[in-house]
Amino acid sequence: MSKKIFIATILILAIALIMTGCPKKTVMKEEPSVKKEEAAAAAKADAESKATESKAKEDFEKSMVAKKTPGIEGEVFESSLLKDVHFDFDKYDIRPADATILKANADLLKKYHKVKIQIEGHCDERGTVEYNLALGERRANSARNYLVSIGVSPERVSTISYGKERPLDPAHNEEAWTKNRRAHTIITSK
């Protein structure tokens, strides 16, 4: 984190110097050696930052797995870097530990402005089809509202409720139910 801040600071300074410095040739003449060093460092930092960013972008893109579902139109992508959040039985509020997960998802989305996502609300098998569809709708919207509250543009996030129709684990026990009460993120557009 501190390394990133350092690089970013250098970058900002370099840009500031370039912008303010360039037209004023006299200033540049006064401290030529310092300027050269700083410019070199800035260029290096810039290149490193770009490399890091492009690697991360590559990693994110690499992590995207295309997914087509029979009977549901369109191709979407799933990324292991966008993590699920989970819910208590019959609840749709974001638990504090899951807020951290959503923050990480939001950080990733802020880096890649083009990416659009859909949050799927899922439920465990207990209870009725219709009430679980309502609950899934609420869970998807809880996750969406949280992302929007920390700066993700609302236009980039759609929601869908699958109720109890698409369990991650089809088993009929507590362990499966815990896994199945979730908000899952898919990528609808890269």
Partner 1 sequence: MLKYFFILLSFLIFVSPAESRVYLDINAPTFVQIPIVLAKWKSLEKTPPSFTEKVYEILANDLTLSGFFKVIDVPRLPGSLRETEGIPNTSSLQEWMRAGGEILLAGETLFEPDGLNFKLKFHLFDLVEQRHIAGKQYEGPLPALRSAVHRMADEVVLQITGEKGVTNTKIAYAVAQGTGKEIFIADFDGANVKQITKNQSINLSPAWSPDGKKIAFTSYLKRNPDLYLVDTDGKNLKLFSRYPGLNVSPSWSPDGKKIALMMGMQGKSDIFLIDTDGGNPTRLTKSHGNEASPTWSPDGERIAFVSDRSGAPQIYIMARDGSSVRRLTFEGSYNTNPSWSPKGDRIAFCGRAEGRFQIFTIGTDGSGLRRMTSDSGSNESPSWSPDGRYIAFSSTRAGASKIFIMNANGFNQRALTSSKGGESSPAWSRRFE
Binding site for partner 1 (CB under 8 A): 69-74, 90, 118, 126-131, 133-135, 137-138, 141, 145, 158-162, 165-166
Q: How far is the CB of 64 from partner 1 (least distance, A)?
A: 18
Per 3-state DSSP, what percentage of the chain is helix, strand, and coil (rounded to 5)? 55, 20, 25
Element housing 95 (H / E) = none
Looking at the Cβ atoms of 111 and 126, the one nearer to partner 1 is: 126
Q: How far is the CB of 74 from partner 1 (least distance, A)?
A: 6
Q: How far is the CB of 80 from partner 1 (least distance, A)?
A: 21
Integer CA distances (angstroms), 28 to 32, 33, 36, 41, 108, in order: 6, 9, 9, 16, 39
Q: How far is the CB of 47 from partner 1 (least distance, A)?
A: 41
Integer CA distances (angstroms), 171 to 110, 128, 178, in order: 36, 17, 11
Q: How far is the CB of 120 from partner 1 (least distance, A)?
A: 10
CA 128 to chain centroid = 32
Looking at the Cβ atoms of 24 and 172, the one nearer to partner 1 is: 172
Looking at the Cβ atoms of 105 and 118, the one nearer to partner 1 is: 118
> Which residues, listed in sequence order, are joined to residue 86 by a DSSP beta bridge?
182
Looking at the Cβ atoms of 28 and 148, the one nearer to partner 1 is: 148
Distance CA(138)–CA(121), nearest Å, equals 7
Distance CA(78)–CA(154), nearest Å, equals 20
Looking at the Cβ atoms of 117 and 135, the one nearer to partner 1 is: 135
